[in-house]
Structure formats: C-alpha cells, structure tokens
Amino acid sequence: MLETAYAAQTGNPRDCIIVALDCPPAEAISLADKLVGHATWLKVGMTLFYKAGPVIIEELHKQGFNIFLDLKLYDIPHQVEGAAASAASTGADLLSLHALGGPTMVQAAQAGIAALKQEKVTETVAITILTSFDNETLERVGIEKPLDVEVDTLASLAIESGANGLVCSPQEVGKLRELLGTSPRIVTPGVRPAGTAAGDQSRIATPADALMAGASQLVIGRPITGVADPIAAFDACLKEVEEVLK
C-alpha cells in the first residue's frame, strides 16, 4: 500500500476518496443517504455550507461521515483566527484555508482551533493554487513566478507555519512529496476518472495517477454526484483506488 495514501493510516481504501457535495442542501442530503455504507468522507463546500449552515455538518456526522469543510479561509489573521475556531466548533474533521494569506494568517487559524481545546482536533489543509488556474491566469492576477514555483513556495510556507497539510492539483503532488516528504496530508481536487469531462478544472489527473504521485486523499465531485448512478460511479473510482493500493 502506498505510504502517502490516507488509507495507509486507516486501512480502508474508501478513506482515500472525498466526495464533494457542492450542491443545495436537499440534494446533498439525498446524495449522502445514497452514499451511506460506500463513501466515508464528504466535502462540504461554500455552496452547501452558506445555505445550510453548521447544522449540515452535524447531520452528516450522524450518518457516519467524516467531513472536509472546504471554506477556503482567506482574510486578515484576526478574522481567520475567529473563523477557524467557529468552523472547527462544528466538529469538521478537515478545514481548508488559503496559503496565500501568509504565515501569520495560517498560524492564526491554528491558534483559533487550538483555543477550543476540543478532544477531536480539526486539521487544516492549505490551498496552494486553485486547480482552475493555469500559468496565464496566474500572470493576469500579477503573479510572475511560474505556477509550479509558486505552488512550491506556498506549500513550504504553509507547512512551516503549522498547517497540517495541503491542497494542490494532482500535477504538483510528486514534486511536493520530494520537497516536503511523506508526512503532510495532501488533498487533491481536479481528479477525473478516465473518460470524464474536465469541466472548469485546468490541472487534472485520474485517481490512480494522483495516488501514484503521492496524494493522500482525492476530492471527486461531479464525476460521482453529477451522474445518474452515483453509487456505481463511486464504486468505479474505488476500484481504481484499490488497484493502486494493492
């Protein structure tokens, strides 16, 4: 089994897949009901959280899921410290923030979570560069470094500042593993099973390729949630994961 895959810690290949519920509450609950006994991790993003509020985390926890609360926190350190504490108080297992916020902001998020003194500590993952970005987009917002160099810079900064892990595209995972070793949790969106549409993602890979590169967990949304049979789609992704982890 690949040592960097999250399943290496838990012994369950299902833990490598985080199903993204980027949809309204009623649809999210319906999808979660179908995924009980199949998926173990769900992602609650801004679309769902801003509509349903913290109660959605509690409801999904009651169904037995682990939750990645993908709020992409990015503000001045004081605001992020409070926001991280509020988000962690929902019981979310994983929380995202932007590494672009800088070391003081990342440290403030960790401080906000630590101040809660909860038995189950919410871990943070820092986003490097969104998977919808390419080099041209990066240049247009005024970042002149090549995309891969900027990813390395932000990833190192985030881990040095106390983040528990990272969010990056599958294409950057291998280099980050060389740079940072096997310890950080690396969560990769932009994962598309072979034959599915890329959508608005620019830097993508298949589940097998992402895991082989060193990803810990894979965020997969529309290829599972946007099809007629989400269970069959999840099981197909899981089969690919299990083949890699043999």
Please state, in angstroms and rounded to a whole number, the distance separating the CA atoms of residues 155 and 17: 22
Catalytic option among 43, 51, 62, 72: 72
Judge whether 126 and 158 are in contact, CB under 8 Å. Answer: yes
CA-CA-CA-CA dihedral for 158, 161, 164, 169, to nearest 10: 0
Please state, in angstroms and rounded to a whole number, the distance separating the CA atoms of residues 142 and 120: 40
Please state, in angstroms and rounded to a whole number, the distance separating the CA atoms of residues 226 and 199: 12
CA-CA-CA-CA dihedral for 84, 86, 89, 93, to nearest 10: -40
Please state, in angstroms and rounded to a whole number, the distance separating the CA atoms of residues 232 and 61: 23
For residue 122, the Cα-to-chain-centroid distance in whole angstroms is: 13
Query: Following DSSP, what letter does each residue of 26-92 receive, concatenated?
Result: HHHHHHHHHHTTT-SEEEEEHHHHHHH-THHHHHHHHTT-EEEEEEEE-S-HHHHHHHHHHHHTTT-
For residue 104, the Cα-to-chain-centroid distance in whole angstroms is: 22
| Catalytic annotation present for 72 | yes
Q: Annotated catalytic sites, by residue? A: 72
